[in-house]
Amino acid sequence: MARISILGIGYVGVVSAACLAEDGHTVVAVDVDPAKVAKLNAGEAPIVETGLTPLLQRNVARGRLSATTDVSSAIAETDLTFICVGTPSASDGAVGLNYVKQACKDVAAAIRQKSTFHSVVVRSTIVPGTMEGECIPILEQASGLTAGDGFGVGYYPEFLREGTAIDDNYNPGLIVFGAIDPVTEQLLHDINAGLPCACNVVPVATAEMIKYTSNSWRAVKVTFANEIGNIAKACGIDGQLVLKVLCSDDKVNMSPYFMRPGFAFGGSCLPKDVRALRHLAGEREVSTPLLDSVLTANAGQIERAETMVENAPGKSIGMVGISFKAGTDDLRESPLAELASRLISKGFDLRVYDPSVSVAYAHNMGGSGRGNGIVPDLKERLVDEIDELIEGADILLVGNRYEEAVEPLTEAASTKSLVDLTRIDPKMRSGGLYAGICW
């Protein structure tokens, strides 16, 4: 069992302290507010949270949980510190780091007095890059030690929801952490062992980003549900029932599908149906700022790809994929077709490898909108072999992922510009001749 100090007896700190003590760890909670310290030592909860008081009472009585205003003694008695202080908005909306910076200084000064290895893990919500750019330099300067060697460092975001925080602790939907040293990483594994959720170990800045992504996503979900509810109401439909039924589909609608950063959405349904819903909402005088912005954002993604191609040297483009997704010949509202036609109108010489569309043309199949004329002379632009496409191009533009094209494209990326909208190889990152739309 670990010996853990927790800075900040707020919503996050006190719940963590209570649950970790309940799990058998020895926990010393620290706060600058003596009233909170006194309350905790009396086994009383400083916040209202279901199920918290019995955990505090039991573990204070057992001697596993105590509180102090003295950081040095807490650090001296423990091997691992969680920083759970607040990060309120600054006046311009930026993350406020004053409490985190002070906590890092306090912890580092105490580590300086220790002869044994100590790990410092931040749980406060901080924007990507804060650990590397702010916390670690402060910790190193104030301790006189090197991070990762003289002391351990990690970032371990908290995803609890107030009101169900204890249950969220024991039944988490997501566990994420990053550490710069193996000791800290192992401690975080040990603490989470036994929970019914896998640990996602990621780089520290990625963990910082995941926390913001999680909260932004939650915000989008709420806004989306509200907008649907507003339209449903205007139509006399129970919006809560609509979403309840939708969310009963945990196979597709609530799954990771559609949750992969990349190129714009398209096809014959999504853009059309979003437009229709907005139109309906307009008729009922319901405003839909979120749905409006979804389409604006989608159009922006096409422009982004266009700029990427324009920034690459050369005038001849070899495009992989033209239909709205791999494996279909459907060109209706394909954002790739839109992109191709824009590039052609700007004077680029563009050829296309898309086996699905080639097959459709070869078999003279109809009904999928292939003849809609968005891409001028598409039939003449199609090439049957990926090698032929690569050979004749200055710029390779990858819109859809076809397995047989992956190896030739990754090889070609050492000599030709590759603009990748689908991430053909998860290892590739922008730099040199390679440009990915989101990575």
Cβ pair 331, 372 in contact under 8 A? yes
Angle, to 10 degrees, between the axis of helix 289-311 and the axis of helix 335-345?
50
Between the alpha carbon of residue 365 and those of residues 91, 335, 368, 374, the distances in Å are: 60, 21, 8, 18
> Rounded distance, CA 144 to CA 18, Å?
32
Q: Which residues are annotated as a binding site for substrate?
A: 159-162, 211, 258-262, 266, 325
Q: Please, what is the minimum distance in Å from the beta carbon of residue 134 to ligand NAD?
A: 13
Residue 86 or 150 having the CB closest to ligand NAD: 86
Contact pick of 7, 27, 97, 435 for ligand NAD (by CB under 6 A): 7
Q: Find, among 206, 145, 161, 198, the residue nearest to 179 by Cα.
A: 206
**Partner residues linked to 119 by β-bridges:** 80, 152
The span of 1-9, 324-332, 341-349, 393-401 binding ligand NAD (CB under 6 A) equals 1-9
Backbone angles phi, psi at 98, to 5 degrees: -55, -45
State yes or no: residue 167 binds ligand NAD (CB under 6 A): no
Residue 31 or 227 having the CB closest to ligand NAD: 31
Strands 175-179 and 152-155: antiparallel
State yes or no: residue 324 binds ligand NAD (CB under 6 A): no
One symbol per residue from 104 to 143: x for binding ligand NAD (CB under 6 A), - otherwise; what is it?
Answer: --x-----------------xx------------------
State yes or no: residue 305 binds ligand NAD (CB under 6 A): no
- Determine the residue with CB nearest ligand NAD: 10
* Residue 194: DSSP 8-state: T
State yes or no: residue 413 binds ligand NAD (CB under 6 A): no
Angle at 205 between CA 135 and CA 311, to 5 degrees: 125
Q: Find, among 403, 395, 275, the residue nearest to 327 by Cα.
A: 403
Residue 269 designated active-site: yes
> Rounded distance, CA 10 to CA 31, Å?
9
State yes or no: residue 162 binds ligand NAD (CB under 6 A): yes
Residue 33 or 190 having the CB closest to ligand NAD: 33
Catalytic residue among 235, 247, 269, 438: 269
Residue 13 or 154 having the CB closest to ligand NAD: 13
Strands 65-68 and 80-83: unpaired
> Rounded distance, CA 208 to CA 281, Å?
37
State yes or no: residue 294 binds ligand NAD (CB under 6 A): no
Per rule CB under 6 A, count of chain residues that contact ligand NAD? 25
Residue 111 or 395 having the CB closest to ligand NAD: 111
The span of 20-28, 101-109, 234-242, 371-379 binding ligand NAD (CB under 6 A) equals 101-109
Cβ pair 78, 4 in contact under 8 A? yes
Q: Please, what is the minimum distance in Å from the beta carbon of residue 105 to ligand NAD?
A: 8
Cβ pair 39, 8 in contact under 8 A? no
Residues within the interface to ligand NAD (CB under 6 A):
7-13, 30-33, 36, 84-87, 99, 102-103, 106, 124-125, 158, 160, 162
